Structure 1
């Protein structure tokens, strides 16, 4: 479990690196703040008591994403390579099938680094922010908190169908979210039946939408757009800026989000580690 001191140090280093590089790092603070200590997931490098290097490991089923940074004044000293080696070794101990290295698209330093690592470009992911747009709300689409056994079974099934999780991985992931996260888990309901799900994280004065999925047989009926519009209005009324992420290759989701007023402002590249 990370201490408050760790989190403060990570945020301070992040600020320096982002200001110097003109990009944004995806450090998943919602996950950093809810570490449970079952695995070694965070790797630090200190010089004279000062944090100058950090790598975070983020597990999603049998997939692990790695994202890190080194203070501009301490680069080209092998610090990141050392952190990355430790992160990859730990991921292998967890029998992770897929290891992804995450880097801001516009980071020239990251591009130079990945050329020295056995990896290949996999996909890009857009960070999107909602721009105030008139949205209509359909009362037939209901959002309710997820509590029942049936809700949990539906969430697992949606992870398998929409996010390519294996069933046991989906069970573990949903249990981890339920036990260690303050995120609000929502079920999308239409005509008394479960149609989909999403998760809303409110942290640091922002709202982020995660895990948004609709059963494949119900897609293309406007359910997703109506549910998204509803949660956006709900968070907007709280005065929070609203964000989400989407893979660039997911053209259908990208079009859906844009139709609700979301606009891309940043992107991350993911590289598949080859071993």
Structure 2
């Protein structure tokens, strides 16, 4: 049996997207996020796919990679039909990803794979080493919400200096390019929470087919422990309901102290994604 591989830049054509979505539906596990499904059809997404078809036109595996924050830092993953995993299709897809990174002058790459048997061995054989893990958490949408007195949540309205000051305090300087990307990229809505007119928290919301994703969530360190984080997360659940979404999703590193905050807000583990790093992509 002959297999043909091709590299296609985003946005992908309608037929390829249909094939890839149909392929993911074959699996019990939800691979849509690690495979970057929301980016496949977006013209503003910096990414590409490597697809593997048989001579009969059957898709048997694919890989995707996305420059998530526009800094030449790519995040990729791959999936192969179980019947073909012993035919080095995964290695061929990974080689296609490497070639695509070289073409795009990638400065850093992370492999993101849901923890499952075989994934670790596959990545080690490719020269990757474990870097960190994130837990994907989810909670159902909330129909009704009353924010505490004095608290308001509204779309970002130009208070750039105050927003960046909060993010620096909550994270570090490296978060600034991320929030700049969130402000500029279509489909990402930056929201701010204020207490009596003073900015105390922020989050970026990304609406998908049946879920609302929360990212870049931060409460100013001087304002933590006052319930603002819990209130913001409850507000996001209500926003999901208003937008007709079933749930709210977010990722958090397994050693992040904020994990307790999310669990207290009702978020439950959905899956664990392991991130693997390769020291160089230019060799």
TM range (shorter): 0.7 to 0.9
Q: Which residue of 2 aligns with 1:249?
A: 255
The alignment partner of 2:225 has SS state of coil
Q: Which residue of 2 aligns with 1:85?
A: 95
Pick the aligned partner of 2:18 from 1, 8, 32. 8
Instruction: Report the number of matched residues.
Output: 264
Pick the aligned partner of 2:82 from 54, 64, 72. 72
d(CA) in 1 for partners of 2:106 and 2:162?
25
Contact 1:141 1:227 in 2 (8 A): no
Contact 1:99 1:273 in 2 (8 A): yes
Contact 1:159 1:170 in 2 (8 A): no
Change in Cα spacing, 1:176 to 1:57, as seen in structure 2 (3 Å) is farther
CA shift, 1:224, in A, is 1.6
Change in Cα spacing, 1:89 to 1:4, as seen in structure 2 (3 Å) is same
Q: If the length of structure 1 is used for normalisation, what is the TM-score?
A: 0.81
CA shift, 1:104, in A, is 1.0
Structure with greater helix share of residues = 1
Change in Cα spacing, 1:53 to 1:226, as seen in structure 2 (3 Å) is same
Pick the aligned partner of 1:50 from 48, 58, 66. 58
Q: Which residue of 1 aligns with 2:272?
A: 267
Q: Does 1:206 align with 2:211?
A: yes
d(CA) in 2 for partners of 1:188 and 1:221?
13
CA shift, 1:165, in A, is 6.1
Pick the aligned partner of 1:173 from 178, 181, 187. 181
d(CA) in 1 for partners of 2:252 and 2:269?
9
CA shift, 1:164, in A, is 5.2
Contact 1:88 1:99 in 2 (8 A): no
Q: If the length of structure 2 is used for normalisation, what is the TM-score?
A: 0.79
Q: Which segments of 5 or more consecutive residues in structure 2 lack a partner in the other structure?
A: 1-10
What RMSD in Å do the two structures reach over aligned CA positions?
3.0
The alignment partner of 1:76 has SS state of coil
Contact 1:156 1:170 in 2 (8 A): no
Q: Does 1:184 align with 2:189?
A: yes
d(CA) in 1 for partners of 2:108 and 2:54?
32
- Greater RCO (CA < 8 Å, at least 6 residues apart): 1
Contact 2:211 2:240 in 1 (8 A): no
Deviations 1:35-91 (A, max 9, x none): 426x45222222222222211112234432111111222223332222222323433
Change in Cα spacing, 1:94 to 1:163, as seen in structure 2 (3 Å) is farther
Q: Does 1:121 align with 2:133?
A: no
